[in-house]
Amino acid sequence: MNDGTNDGTELEHLDAPPPISAELRAKILADPNVAKIAAELEMDVEEFVNNVGYYMNNPGVEPAFLVVSDENLRKMGVEPPTAEAIEANVRASVEAFKAGQAPSGFDDPRKKVVDLSGQGSQAVQAKADPGLEDEVKKDRAAVKP
């Protein structure tokens, strides 16, 4: 595999890790959370299992990160962003993070909290009206067809 150490114009990479052994596949799929994790990552379960298996078989391998010169990007048909565009993107990202971390107007109380501790410890007692229950029963009986 070309790791970009030569002139960097050719990039050889795997679109997906190679299939893993049936034993390792069964071991990974034995975990009931595998399908849930794959779904959360919006990945096919088979692709996810192969990725996990690849890194289990190759524990020293780091996930790929490639730095390519502007000249080589242009050779690949990609126009590199300008310094101003990169700066604008970073600034927009920082503002988005700040906005996501800022408290909403609902977090801070707008009025002073009412203190009820000095009001005594007696619970409020409802006073029953004995005639009210009879009146409700009469009205319910009159409504029935």
pLDDT tens readout for residues 72-83: 889 989 899 999
pTM: 0.37
Q: CA 138 to CA 117: how far, in whole Å?
A: 43
Q: Which residue has the higher pLDDT, 94 or 141?
A: 94
Whether the predicted pLDDT of 4 surpasses 50: no
Residue spans per domain, the chain: 9-66, 67-101
Q: Look at residue 138 in the predicted model and tell me its pLDDT.
A: 84
Q: Look at residue 96 in the predicted model and tell me its pLDDT.
A: 87
Whether the predicted pLDDT of 130 surpasses 90: no
Q: Look at residue 8 in the predicted model and tell me its pLDDT.
A: 41
Whether the predicted pLDDT of 119 surpasses 80: no
pLDDT tens figures, 12-68: 455 667 788 999 999 999 999 999 999 998 889 998 999 899 888 888 887 776 778
Q: CA 113 to CA 115: how far, in whole Å?
A: 6
Whether the predicted pLDDT of 133 surpasses 80: yes
pLDDT tens figures, 97-106: 888 777 766 6
